[in-house]
Amino acid sequence: MANSDESATIYQVAQRAGVSIATVSRALRGTGPVAAKTRERVLRAVEELRFTPSRLGVSLASGRHAANGIVFPDLSGPYFAEVLLGYEEVASELGRSVIILSTRGRAAVPDLVRDLSRRVDGMVIFGQTVRDDVVAEIVDSGLPLVMIARDDVAGADVVASENTVSAARLASHLLGHGYRRIALAGGHDNGDITQRWTSVGQVLSEHGLTPPEPSPCEFTVEGGHALGRYLLSGPRPEAIVCADDQVALGVILAAEELGLSVPGDVAVTGWDDIMAARHARPALTTVRQPMRDLGARAARALDELITGARDTPRSQVTPTELVIRASCGTHPLEEA
Amino acid sequence: MANSDESATIYQVAQRAGVSIATVSRALRGTGPVAAKTRERVLRAVEELRFTPSRLGVSLASGRHAANGIVFPDLSGPYFAEVLLGYEEVASELGRSVIILSTRGRAAVPDLVRDLSRRVDGMVIFGQTVRDDVVAEIVDSGLPLVMIARDDVAGADVVASENTVSAARLASHLLGHGYRRIALAGGHDNGDITQRWTSVGQVLSEHGLTPPEPSPCEFTVEGGHALGRYLLSGPRPEAIVCADDQVALGVILAAEELGLSVPGDVAVTGWDDIMAARHARPALTTVRQPMRDLGARAARALDELITGARDTPRSQVTPTELVIRASCGTHPLEEA
DNA sequence: AGAGTGAGTGGAAGCGCTTACACTCCAAGA
DNA sequence: TCTTGGAGTGTAAGCGCTTCCACTCACTCT
């Protein structure tokens, strides 16, 4: 393989084919007429020189990056990975590369986001990863933007999965078990989690119970573990509703360490239905969220915004499903 | 916020500050001398116009993308997500964006990889995701390349985690339990997995046993589940060594369905030590792989190649650790 | 006082493409 | 035979930067 180290440019192709660069461009992109013979000469030259158009040249001239960004808080844990998976798949189908940015533990997030915004045609941001003023700045700059799992933002699309109904179902189910002292593991986030807590609180209120204050913790197994030890050491709740599955797994671990049985001594529920939920001991009652679908929808919504197929922001909510397993108790009473 | 929709260019800044674009560039990048007063005027203009340099302009002129690529087979499952996490973190520290490409289910992988190669300063490829000739093409083009978990490739760095020693330890441990009929779940991949099988086979041979032929399956919970049902229906092995934790979880699921106890009726081991391994029922004996570290190392190695700090390929292997949990049996005999 | 120095600045040439526009033919229509 | 018109092509103007080079001025050294 003849490797001139520096890859060929359109000028070299043009020279070799004995035509102008305009003709090369037209032949390659199919814009404008090119005689069959000429095209053939061009293609031969392209092949001989192993020419691939410089992405930068193309982008600068055409004004588009053919790339999308996605900003998430953290890639650890299955939730974000699954969303990303769905996102990348669709983006790739649409001919767009995906540039990722994780904000976890990063100091200069606004700058990183700004930087990202300069290299994409549009971006997706998970709720609560980027300050509101920075989000507003992005919207204001005219860059197509889709938010995932966040309250509506003026000027941006929102893709979220259903929280209120499923949270209410979950709460009702636990009440059906006869549990009354219910604790919430995981603090407010002004997004998904908050919606769930509000909904759970409402159901409890309707049943004459005082909605509990959620206990903050990191949304990881470790966070759940620490909080679990705390919650299970004081006056013990009958059920602990966790912000997500990882927290729930941590709580179960804590219960085990304290010699408590789940669900015998305390019921535990999660949210997301990650792989480990099914394999946990006991298997985790949780709410299944269509994670990949969320990412796929975000990618499509963004594409519409970028291509201009749509120019008014839209908010879409995908349904979720309550998955009853062993961790909330073995013999649930029938509920309304 | 005054939003002219199209963001400002360096020309507008220059005009507003009453200087040339060269001076603006120098003032902003700190290359070359600029009078304090001039700098101030430039910075004021930058602020007023909310100027951010166009990434494309910068890249085209400077000849660098300030972006890295990473190609993986699939983002589902914790392994790749964790590696990606470590990779992105370091890349971001080094001022490089990360462009991802998942090959799973994609038809035109070579084209996608080529396309990716035109938008980055260097890339990382997981072993066995891209055809050898395409890898060779990348190397030949002079693009810095780091392979993860793959046999050495001429001209590319390799970052891998230790397989042989840990696999031997694992095999010895199982023999110490007294198991003799050992099955291998997961087919060859000419990479990591193959190394493990070879090593296990060798240990078995040394003990006078015939190395078993590995049974192919998808490296997912479902794949393990299907294979598990098959393996456990015939003449039952005493232990099933799985290619990774997900496969092992599937096998355990299959055992459960068939009314078999793990490890009572059959021992099961995994590899990776993903989160679910610890929470599985029974907890999974496995080999911990430093997944994030793998990604971080790849990012650093790639950076060295890109900056030219190093120009000869290097191969590094990170250590792994055997993690004994319940799934291989409760009272292991002491081993050598 | 004249030469030398270096800080500070602008002009302009790229980087590798896309594309508007102008131009040349040549065949078909009047 | 003289328009037309469109197919086929080239010229050149960007796209938004970086950076080489040349140039202008104070100054400092002999």
Whole-number Cα distances in Å, B332 to A306, B179, B240, B264, B322:
60, 10, 16, 12, 14
More confident residue, B270 or A333: B270
The span from the CA of B140 to the CA of B134, in Å, is 10
The spacing between the Cα labelled CA in B34 and the C1' in D21, in angstroms, equals 17
Question: What is the signed CA dihedral for B227, B233, B238, B244, rounded to 10 degrees?
Answer: 10
Residues of chain B positioned with their CB less than 8 A from the CB of A280:
276, 279-281
> Which helix H or strand E contains A323, and what residues bound it?
strand A321-323
CATH H-level superfamily of A10-62? lambda repressor-like DNA-binding domains (1.10.260.40)
Domains A10-62 and A67-160+291-318 in one fold: no
CATH of B10-53, one of 3.40.50.10470, 3.40.50.1100, 1.10.3720.10, 1.10.260.40: 1.10.260.40
Mean pLDDT of A274-297: 91
User: Per-domain residue ranges for chain A?
Assistant: 10-62, 67-160+291-318, 164-289+322-328
Structure tokens at B102: 């998942």
Task: Select from A85, A97, A102 the Cβ nearest to the Cβ of B75.
Answer: A85
CATH class of the domain whose range is B164-289+322-328? alpha beta
B233: CB partners within 8 A, 6+ apart: B258
Interface with chain A: mutation pick from B279, B292, B327, highest number of A CBs within 10 Å: B279
Q: How far is A279 from chain B (nearest CA, A)?
A: 5
**Contact across the interface for A100 and B82, Cβ inside 8 Å:** no
More confident residue, B189 or A263: A263
Q: CB pairs below 8 Å between A and B: how many?
A: 149
The answer to whether B279 and B285 have CB atoms below 8 angstroms apart is no
The spacing between the Cα labelled CA in B20 and the C1' in D27, in angstroms, equals 25
Structure tokens at A123: 């971006």
Structure tokens at B156: 């590319």
| 3 state SS for chain B | CCCCCCCCCHHHHHHHHCCCHHHHHHHHHCCCCCCHHHHHHHHHHHHHHCCCCCHHHHHHHHCCCCEEEEEECCCCCHHHHHHHHHHHHHHHHCCCEEEEEECCCCCCHHHHHHHHHCCCCEEEEECCCCCHHHHHHHHHCCCCEEEECCCCCCCCEEEEECCHHHHHHHHHHHHHCCCCCEEEECCCCCCHHHHHHHHHHHHHHHCCCCCCCCECCCCCHHHHHHHHHHHCCCCCCCEEEECCHHHHHHHHHHHHHCCCCCCCCCEEECCECCHHHHHCCCCCEEEECCHHHHHHHHHHHHHHHHHCCCCCCCEEEECCEEECCHHHCCCCCCCC
Q: List per-residue pLDDT tens for chain B, 336 residues long.
A: 444 456 899 999 999 999 999 999 999 999 989 999 999 999 999 999 999 999 999 999 999 999 999 999 988 888 899 999 999 999 999 999 999 999 998 989 999 999 999 999 999 999 889 999 999 999 999 999 999 988 888 889 999 999 999 999 999 999 999 999 999 999 998 788 999 999 999 999 999 999 999 999 999 888 999 999 999 998 999 999 999 999 999 999 899 889 999 999 999 999 999 888 888 879 999 999 999 999 999 999 999 999 999 999 999 999 999 999 999 987 644 433
Which CATH architecture fits A67-160+291-318? 3-Layer(aba) Sandwich (3.40)
B21 CB neighbours strand D below 7 A:
yes
Asked if the C-beta of A260 comes within 8 angstroms of chain B's C-beta atoms, the answer is: no
A264: CB partners within 8 A, 6+ apart: none
A32 CB neighbours strand D below 7 A:
yes
Give B160's strand partners.
B317
Strand D, nucleotides covered by protein (CB < 7 Å): 7-12, 14-20
| pLDDT of res. B193 | 93
| pLDDT of res. A150 | 85
Start-to-end C-alpha separation, chain B: 72
| pLDDT of res. A114 | 94
User: How many contiguous H segments (helices) and E segments (strands) does chain A have?
Assistant: 13, 11
Instruction: Compare all CA atoms of chain B with the CA of A115 and give the residue at the minimum distance.
Output: B55
Q: Express each pLDDT in A142-183 by its tens digit.
A: 999 999 988 888 889 999 999 999 999 999 999 999 999 999
Longest dimension (CA), chain B: 86
CATH class of the domain whose range is B67-161+291-318? alpha beta
